[in-house]
Amino acid sequence: MSRLAGGYPDGRGAVMDAAREHEVIVVGAGPAGATTATALARQGRDVLLLDRHTFPRDKICGDAISAGAVHIMRELGMADKIAAAEARGEFHRLDGMRLVSPSGHLIRAEFRRGVAGEDSYVAPRRYFDAVIHKQAVECGAQFVQAEVKEPLLEDGRVVGVLARQNGEVKAYRSRVVVGADGVTSTIMRHLRPEPAQHVDRHRAVALRAYIEDLELYPHEIEFFLYDEILPGYAWIFPAGDHVANIGLGMRLDVFRGLKKNLKQMLRDFLDMPAIRERLTRGGVVRDVASWQLNFGSQKRLQHAYDGALLVGDAAGFIDPLTGGGIYNGLVSGVLAADVIDGALRAGDVSRERLRAYERRCNEKMWSTMRKSYLYQRILMNYPSVVDAGIRYLGRHNGVAKTFLSKL
């Protein structure tokens, strides 16, 4: 029986009326969701894009954008928007990286451009997400600010969502729902039973802040691997001439065992001699915020359901080595759009049909995720091996390729 039969009360007496049915509802207008919506809209699909925020809005992140992600954006028609954002100073070009090994060994490496000459950037999510969101709307996706409360189910099949808009809970129906609402995804938590969700060794915790009194290396990002934070790292990503995104992250089970405070760990990082000497006013930070991440290294997680798919952080497509998820989010959005378009043309949006998305994601990402998780385990257990590996890769310019491909 439909939960819409006779209306559905929201617990406070409000009754929701069913809106017209869309072909696809995308829940979450961040990079993965907006990419999915853009790709579907470009194929002529009727797409409703829902997010609890208006855009532009801030999002906790390291803000590093790989050339691979930029290539996907260009393929979806965003070349002019990227150029305009760079001209406005919102996208800060990256030319190379500096990496400090556990023993303090420093290597520098230049970045190679993407397949079509794309640059890598540091782009605060306020600006980056707005570019893809705008593209989705311009391509024909309808955007509505609404907070999705749960998927709408009929006989075990997802047929839409319930969302609060302007204080009223409404039902939005569709043939397919895409969960793109981040690591705490409402769609994911309702469709994946808790025992089938991520465990702590395949999760991470991170802290991000912005700093304006730190001497920077122009157009170079910095990674710091040191014993107190392994198997994670600290970072300094310049977001302009005088501002940087700084932070640190580590695997969640290891962090829980340390019983430490992330803010204190960041202060300890800023107090390291090599960092402290670069501070002009003692290290004034702002917009300090923490978040958790789900790695793409956990086996046998379900991403396809009857009438629904999970993309990006909602699926858990975060690289276990770097904690980066934007590139994988965009990849998953493009793959989801292609599978959904085929399912709609075939008139079959069952899990069996949509499982093609899981297969294609595995083919595209699983090998990299597995290797990254292995590297991460080595970081934790064998720092001396890490030192030797970094020295070797540094001589062959492989570190930049390894890290940037995983952001």
Helix (H) or strand (E) holding 70: helix 67-75
Q: With b meaning 16 or more CB within 10 Å and e meaning fewer, what string describes 46-81?
A: bbbbbbbeebbeebbbbbbbbbbbbbbbbebebeeb
Place of tokens 């979450």: 28
Q: Cα(348)–Cα(160) distance, rounded to whole angstroms?
A: 16
Report pLDDT digits (tens) over 285-338.
999 999 999 999 999 999 999 999 999 999 999 999 889 999 999 999 999 999
φ/ψ of residue 240, rounded to 5:
170, -175
CA distances from 52 to 146, 148, 306 (A): 5, 7, 25
**pTM of structure:** 0.92
Which is it for strands 168-179 and 308-310: parallel, antiparallel or unpaired?
Answer: parallel
Residue-level pLDDT at 123: 97
Tell which residue, 246, 237, 234, has the closest CA to residue 284: 246
Q: Indicate whether 11 pLDDT > 50.
A: no
Find the mean pLDDT for residues 209-218.
95
CATH number corresponding to 8-94+117-199+297-371: 3.50.50.60
- What residue spans define the domains of the chain? 8-94+117-199+297-371
Over the chain, what is the mean pLDDT?
90
| Cα angle 261-265-266, degrees, rounded to a multiple of 5 | 120
Find the mean pLDDT for residues 39-44.
98
Q: Is 12 exposed, middle or buried (0-12, 13-18, 19+ CB in 10 A)?
A: exposed
Find the mean pLDDT for residues 119-133.
97
Beta carbons within 10 angstroms of residue 237's beta carbon = 27
Find the mean pLDDT for residues 10-22.
53
Residue-level pLDDT at 19: 56
